[in-house]
Amino acid sequence: MGLIESLFIYGGDLMNINWYPGHMKKTRETIAKSLSLVDIVFELIDARIPYSSRNPVIDDIVKNKPRILILNKMDLADPKFNKIWKDHFQEQNITTILFNSLDKKNIRTLIDTANSMVEKNRQTYKQKGIINKPVRAMILGIPNVGKSTLINNLSGRKGARTGNVPGVTRGNQWIKTRSNMELLDTPGILWPKFEDKDVGLSLAFIGSIKDDLLDMETLALRLIERLMIKEDKKLEERYKISVSNKTALQVMEDIALKRGCIIRGGEIDYTKVSNIILDEFRKGTIGRITLEFPETGE
C-alpha cells in the first residue's frame, strides 16, 4: 500500500474506529456514582484542540456539579487563540482558566478558584462543626490531556503515573495534596465512536489515540495539510523549507531531505520523517499552534 493510498486502518478512517473498550464503559458508570463524593469537577481539555478534546459525554455525567474547565497545555497553543477560547467558554457561563501544569502560578490560581466556588459548602460544614474539611475534586478528561501531570504538581509527589500514551490511568484513585484538597483521579474517557473524522484526526494529532492503532505516515501527512493552511510560516521556519505551491507530500519529502530521513538507494524514509513531524508538533517544537477555532469548531 502506497503512502497516498494508505488510510487509517480498521475500516479506512477514524470515523469507523469503534474503540470503546469495556473499561471505558465502566469508567463512565464509576464517574457517575462518584460525583456525590466530590465538591467540584476539574475538566481538562487540550488548548490546541478545545473543540475536539471536550467529550460531550462529560456534560451529561457532571450536570450541575460545580466545574472548572481547564484549558491545559496553554504553553503549546497560540496565545491569541488561548484568550479567544477562554472568552468563548466564559460567555457560556463556564468557569474557565488557561493552564500550564508546570507553572506554580497556574496551580495557585486553580486552587483559589476552586476554594471560591465551593465556599458555600465549606460554610455549611462549619455550621455542622466540621472544620478544615478538605475540598474534594474529581479530575476528568480524555486520555493524554495532562490529568496525571496536574495531579502530581498539585500533590507535590509522583502519586499518579504519567505517560505520553493514552490509558496510563486504569482506575479511580484518591490523592491528597498540600493545599487541603483531595483529588479523585479517573481514567481518560473517550467517545463510543467518532462521528466526525476531523475530531478523530485532531485527537490523533495530540496523541489521545494510541499510535499503534493508526497509520502514522498518513497521520503525519494530514497534519502537514492542516499546518499548511493554518501555520505555513511555522513549518517553513522550523524545517527551513518553502511550502508555497507544494502538496503535503512534497513538503513531507522536503522535510525528510532536510532531516536526513533517507534509506538505502536514496529513497525517502517516510516512517522516520512522520515520527519526527508528529513528535515535534506534540512537544511544541514546531511552534505554539492552535488547530481549532470557536466560530466553527474546525
Q: Domain holding 249: CATH number?
A: 1.10.1580.10
- Alpha-carbon distance of 43 to 203, in angstroms, equals 16
* Lowest mean pLDDT across 91-95, 113-117, 257-261, 293-297: 293-297
Q: Write the CB contacts of 203 (distance below 8 Å, at least 6 apart in sequence).
A: 49, 52, 53, 142, 190, 194, 209
Residues of the chain by 3-state class (helix, strand, coil), percent to 5? 45, 15, 40
| CA–CA distance, 273 with 275 (Å, rounded to integer) | 5
Count Cβ neighbours within 10 Å for each residue of 125-149 and write b for 16 or more, e otherwise: eeeeeeeeeebbbbbbbbbbbbbbb
Would you say residue 33 lies in a domain?
Answer: yes
Q: What is the largest CA-CA distance in the chain?
A: 79
**Residue finishing a domain among 166, 185, 204:** 185
* Judgement on whether residues 274 and 142 belong to the same structural domain of the protein: no
Residues 177, 54: one domain?
yes
Q: Is residue 7 part of a domain?
A: no
The arithmetic mean of pLDDT across residues 115-139, rounded, is: 79
Among candidate residues 185, 205, 230, the one where a domain is terminated: 185
CATH code where residue 69 lies: 3.40.50.300
Any idea what DSSP says for residue 298?
Answer: -
Average pLDDT over residues 276-290: 97
145 within some domain = yes
In a shared domain, residues 93 and 236: no
Using CA atoms, how far apart are residues 209 and 274, in angstroms rounded to an integer? 16
Q: Taking 50 as the threshold, does the pLDDT of residue 168 lie above it?
A: no
| Residue 240 CB contacts under 8 Å (≥ 6 apart), including other chains | 258
Q: What is the pLDDT of residues 209-254, one digit of tens each?
A: 888 878 999 999 999 999 999 899 999 999 999 999 999 999 999 9
Cβ atoms < 10 Å from Cβ of 80? 10
User: Across all residues in the chain, what is the average pLDDT?
Assistant: 83
- Specify the number of domains making up the chain: 2
- Binning pLDDT at 50, 70 and 90, where does residue 132 land? confident
Q: Could you tell me if 35 and 131 lie in one domain?
A: yes
Least confidently predicted of 74-88, 104-118, 187-201, 284-298: 187-201
Q: Phi, psi (5° rounding) for residue 87?
A: -60, -40
191 compared with 83, residue with greater pLDDT = 83
Is 190 among the domain residues?
Answer: no
Considering the domain architecture, whether residues 263 and 163 belong to the same structural domain is answered as no
Same domain (yes/no): 80, 141: yes
- Domain match, 133 and 268 both: no
Size (the chain), residues = 298
Question: Is position 191 within any domain?
Answer: no
Reported as a pLDDT band with limits 50, 70 and 90, residue 264 is: confident
Amino acid at 29: E
* 91, part of any domain: yes
Domain span at residue 147 reads 19-185
Grid cell at residue 24: 471505558
Same domain, 150 and 97: yes
Long-range pairs, 167-172, Cβ under 8 A, ≥24: 167/143, 167/210, 170/23, 172/30, 172/34
- 9, pLDDT greater than 50: no
The residue behind cell 492552535 is 290
CA-based torsion, 18, 23, 26, 31: positive or negative: negative
Residue 59: pLDDT over 80: yes
Closest CA to 214 of 285, 250, 166: 166
154 and 107 co-located in one domain: yes
In a domain, 77, yes or no: yes
For residue 105, pLDDT over 70 is answered with yes
The DSSP result for 191-233, as a single string, is -SS-S-HHHHHHHHHHT-S-GGGS-HHHHHHHHHHHHHHH-HH
pLDDT at residue 166 is higher than 50: no
Of 185, 207, 226, the position where a domain reaches its end is 185
Query: What is residue 12's predicted lDDT score, i.e. its pLDDT?
Result: 44
d(CA 253, CA 165): 27
196 domain-assigned:
no
Residue of higher predicted confidence among 7 and 140: 140
Nearest Cα to 106, choosing from 146, 150, 140?
Answer: 150
The three grid cell numbers given for residue 133, joined into one nine-digit string: 474539611
